[in-house]
Structure 1
Amino acid sequence: MLVGLCMVLQAHAHGVAAQDQGFLAGAAGINLGPFIYLGAKHMVTGYDHLLYLVGVIFFLGKLRDVVTFVSLFALGHSITLLAGVLSGINVNPYVIDAIIGLSVCYKALENLHFIRLFNPKIAVFGFGLAHGFGLSSKLQDLALSTDGLIANMLAFNLGVELGQVIALTVLFAALASLRTRPNFPSLSTNANILLFTAGLVMFGLQAVGYFTS
């Protein structure tokens, strides 16, 4: 519970650090390099995304399967990130972050064979949509300049995908190493229980925030 809570508290800002928020809010014109960097940083440090993606690839031993599932997540994430920022679609951040917490819980329960309500590929795409709205709601709060906004958001999204590749390369290698251990079955059970706990804490924090704000 404590480990999950620590990860969630760091993820509360949804991967946009205070100093980065200042840059994003004041940026005007096209700034492709900085936005690619910030997009990659968001993904690599966004614990909510990483927790969910760990659950998605946990039992995927083939790189082809990893690419398929992660591409579906990236597609959903990209659609709502760009649509939210560019068209001004606004979603309550507490509600969407609570859904993101539930996405982690759902994937953990699916891995533990407790539940499967949807086709896994449809679920990954759907939760990708939710994760994209989570970030777009944070970016909208920064009142980004409309000067160069489309180019900057495309660059930011490209950075997110690059960061995702970097993070998944490390995670996939680590999980591949774990699968060679004789006690992997018990390790996988404990890891997914921890994953569920972290998601539940995320949901609880956002639910409290919603009802008290």
Structure 2
Amino acid sequence: MPANLLKFSLVIISLCLMGLSIDVFAHGVDNNTRVFLQQNTGVQFVPFLYIGAKHMVTGYDHLLFLVGVIFFLYKSRDVLLYVTMFTIGHSTTLLLGVLSDIQVNAYLIDAIIGLSVVYKGFDNLGGFKRCFNWQPNTQWAVLIFGLFHGFGLATKLQEFQLPEDGLIINLVAFNLGVEIGQFAALVFILIAINAWRKLPSFQKFSTLTNTLLMSGGLMLMSYQLAGFVIN
């Protein structure tokens, strides 16, 4: 079973890093969701809950960052702490961004989200200590990047100019959905990584995996910065 989980997890990571379509890199919204958000009126708790969960589960940039965050965390307490820091960050700016109508360029925010993936891969490789003889506070870094991830979610919702009627409840539902999606993704990621840690290949390929993580982040950054320049 661990070998199968390892193979499956490597396939998932490979697909994430390869970026098989523009929609993956754009971290966009599918047509059905787009139509619903454009026509939405009033309180729609369950639909927004579902959209939030789906958005997180299919949000490759968020998932890659979480993979990097928990990659070398062995204690449940540490996983809970870092995930909580990330949750506080993205929940704060998601709600604040939409309710306060804080306008942020979506391309630049998504580029910073890509940078967060690069940062985590570089940090896991010990790059800060080797290159700069300095180690940033990892908890604060996760919180700060979580703030940017939240703005990334907020910009997606702001595109549709959601009506004021039922907005707060719908946003709360969306945010709860994001947390549900994050929890579901984390369960799978933790099972896969914990199974992999029992195999001799974990230490051998951990450097390669985090190098690929950095590469995926650089690809996301490049795509978003190109979009910013072109548009």
- What TM-score, normalized to structure 1? 0.95
Q: Which residue of 2 aligns with 1:173?
A: 191
Deviation at 1:118, TM superposition (A): 2.3
Runs (5+) with no aligned partner, structure 1? none
Q: Which residue identity does 1:45 align to in structure 2?
A: T
- Choose which of 195, 213, 219 in structure 2 pairs with 1:201: 219
SS in 1 for 2:19: helix
Instruction: Please state if 1:155 is matched with 2:173.
Output: yes
Q: 1:156 to 1:118 in 2, by over 3 A?
A: same
- Choose which of 43, 56, 76 in structure 2 pairs with 1:63: 76
Runs (5+) with no aligned partner, structure 2? 1-13, 129-133
Alpha-carbon separation, structure 2, partners of 1:50 and 1:9: 17
Tell me how large the CA RMSD over aligned residues is: 1.6
Residue identity over aligned pairs, in percent, reads 51
Q: Answer whether contact 1:7 1:198 (CA < 8 A) is retained.
A: no
CA deviation profile, 1:117-170 (whole Å, cap 9, x unmatched): 520000000000000101111110111111100000001000100111110000
- Choose which of 202, 208, 217 in structure 2 pairs with 1:190: 208
Deviation at 1:185, TM superposition (A): 1.2
Q: Answer whether contact 1:99 1:130 (CA < 8 A) is retained.
A: yes
Deviation at 1:24, TM superposition (A): 1.4
CA deviation profile, 1:38-70 (whole Å, cap 9, x unmatched): 111111111010000000000111111111101
Deviation at 1:2, TM superposition (A): 8.5
Q: Answer whether contact 1:49 1:131 (CA < 8 A) is retained.
A: yes
Q: Answer whether contact 2:53 2:178 (CA < 8 A) is retained.
A: yes
CA deviation profile, 1:66-111 (whole Å, cap 9, x unmatched): 1110111011000111111111001001111110111000000000
Alpha-carbon separation, structure 1, partners of 2:43 and 2:77: 35
Q: 1:63 to 1:150 in 2, by over 3 A?
A: same
